Structure 1
């Protein structure tokens, strides 16, 4: 069967040639041959130089997502088996695989595909048309690779309900792939037990990317009074509690999240020391300051304040405001853990914003450490969007 060929405009494809994973709609001069959206096409430079193969979708600004840099490589079951096994072997070497992200899209050279493992359950998120057509083979090959390590997957749930699918001309879908099972799954991470709601929780149900950042705050929290803002299902708060904090207050604007966090505290026998309240963090922090509250450790883990370049200015204001408020609530010599999970909030801009907040409230920051996402969310240096999580721990010292 003949395969269509996409030819780039002269001078275009600079990101692609530097190892980037995408070809944008405005970079293509012509497409020769017949294709349907989601099909594999060959990509060549304006002068015919081969650049590889990827799947095409005329509904998307990201017109082609690359699968291989070898023009002659067939994208068949054997190829997908190799990609899946490479991803699984990498996780076995780098992280605790009891619960982890097994496939992280472009960074695992399977663009648009995310698969999380929660104990013996897989949660699949398919975000691009081409990879959606290959989804069942990828799942089967992953289950087969895990079975060879003695891991039996009892169920697979699809959470392809992200808005980004609409930009691909796809419907948002969620539901079981195969036999139904209980969608409340218990996992253990850093010694903390959680009930993960894979059906109705955010994204795939639990944020695995902060695993080792949560562990990093444990040693700071022994005998401490801790405030955990944007707690979601209580993960930082529970790490503080299990590390021996005197008292922990977790705050989230979602009552569902607070209920789940409270359930998780009870699961770990921490309900007496770890409490959760449903409040807007931006409104609560000034109130706590007015009441003269002070904490040994303040943790700020907000949702992404920006998902596009256009809203960066407002995002900077938001990050500056919560960091400024958070610093005011830290006792002299106490600690602030603060992060951003937005790709568009670059390391440089995030660092600068925290520095401005510190100057505004006359605090000196002593950096304890800088961290990023866990290794099961690998950062591919040629794919900027794979580097999104920035995480700092500071000691906060009053100017005196």
Structure 2
């Protein structure tokens, strides 16, 4: 804790005042008092009105990340325990907690930290200097709360290896927090078994945000021929297989991902029904079209094509291309499940892009449903970055 006061420029802080979690470097008029980067500071509006407390880091464009709107709150162990307890109690009410995201940064009012639970293992990603100081306390508190609920955590692995840490003036960190353990962790989601590689897998090892979207495709799959593009470790493909698909082809450009997907297929005794191929989806879809291939269901779960506003135009081209190619491969009256996990590809733009793709290939879309990320990844209104996943299911019909 410091005695420093950050004062905003006149007219600045509009997002903050509407509930947003950050203060940007160009919104700060002055910083008075003694402090170190990572310390908790008091925030004042230009006229001296107190707006709350957050931790400061002048290395980052996000100069202050808010911890509370209460100017009198002490950001101490008791405060952190309260935040962690609230996050865990929320998960217990809204999701299956066998495997789930337990803490989702700003959306849980603990900015800059993500913690995923895979069965009896926790994976931590700490991305901000201020919250890094509380990392061990947050983990220990979680373990204690879970123990009270009869859940014994056998290990914790840190995946603070994202490049964004360097923007905070921090080194990338990866390794065990506590005693070493086997980093291949078996989980079950929607009845599907997976081996999650928390050490080498993408981000924290597995994408939990699509949990209920994967379940949503089950009703489309009995007896169907299914194509799952950007399958990663096979999650949508395996859900389709267990749901009763006649055959499933999962495609991904990562050899490691495809190897893990095959391993997961064997774990679920689906090797004969679910096939995986290492290929570039942008190259494979036109090839399948040339061969006259048709599918009852096509699933598109691509990585984020844009991680900044500067590359949105190229991202739109990419999303339009894969969606129109997919629509060409779907039998008349078949189904398309398509999504974007890019925050910058917002709902309106994503929706418009899919509509353009359908027009270009003379297909009519009937919307079955629109979904977003699972509720263990809560969307905090005014914190735009917390809303990133858009997921549509359409019936695709020929123009007649």
TM more than 0.5: yes
Is structure 2 residue 288 aligned with structure 1 residue 288? yes
Cα deviation code 1:166-213 (max 9, x no counterpart): 100101110000000000000000000000000000000000000000
Flag the 1:324–1:2 CA change in 2: closer, same or farther, 3 A: closer
TM-score, length-scaled by structure 2: 1.00
Task: Identify which range, 2-11 or 223-232, moves more after superposition.
Answer: 2-11
Q: Deviations over 1:238-267 (max 9, x none)?
A: 000000100000000000000000000000
Take 2:298 and 2:120, find their aligned partners in 1: how far apart are those partners? 34
Report the Cα offset of residue 2 of structure 1: 5.1
Distance in 1 between the 2:41 and 2:57 partners?
Answer: 10
**Correspondence for 1:397:** 397
Report deviation, 1:309. 0.2
Match of 1:18 in 2: 18
Aligned counterpart, 1:261: 261
Unpaired segments of 5 or more residues in structure 1? none
Q: Is the 8 A contact 2:5 2:42 kept in 1?
A: yes
Separation in structure 1 between the aligned mates of residue 35 and residue 325 of structure 2, nearest angstrom: 55
Which residue matches 2:340? 340
- Secondary structure of 1:137 counterpart: helix
Q: Within the alignment, does 1:119 sit opposite 2:119 as a pair?
A: yes
Question: In structure 2, what is the equivalent of residue 229 of structure 1?
Answer: 229
In structure 2, relative to structure 1, the CA distance for the partners of 1:5 and 1:96 (3 Å cut) is: same
Q: Which SS does the other structure have where 1:388 is aligned?
A: coil
> How many angstroms apart in 2 are the aligned matches of 1:27 and 1:113?
24
Matched residues in 2 for 1:3 and 1:301: separation?
47
CA distance in 2, matches of 1:308, 1:150: 42
Partner of 1:277: 277
* Matching of residue 186 in structure 1 with residue 198 in structure 2: no
2:300 alignment partner in structure 1: 300
Aligned to 2:383: 383
Partner of 1:316: 316
- Flag as ranges the 4+ runs of structure 1 deviating above 2 A: none
1:146 corresponds in structure 2 to 146
Secondary structure of 1:219's aligned partner = helix
Per the alignment, residue 78 of structure 2 pairs with 78
Q: How does 1:101-250 map to 2 (within 5 A)?
A: 101-250=101-250
Distance (Å, rounded) in 2 between the aligned partners of 1:386 and 1:14: 18
Q: What is the Cα-based RMSD across aligned positions, in Å?
A: 0.6
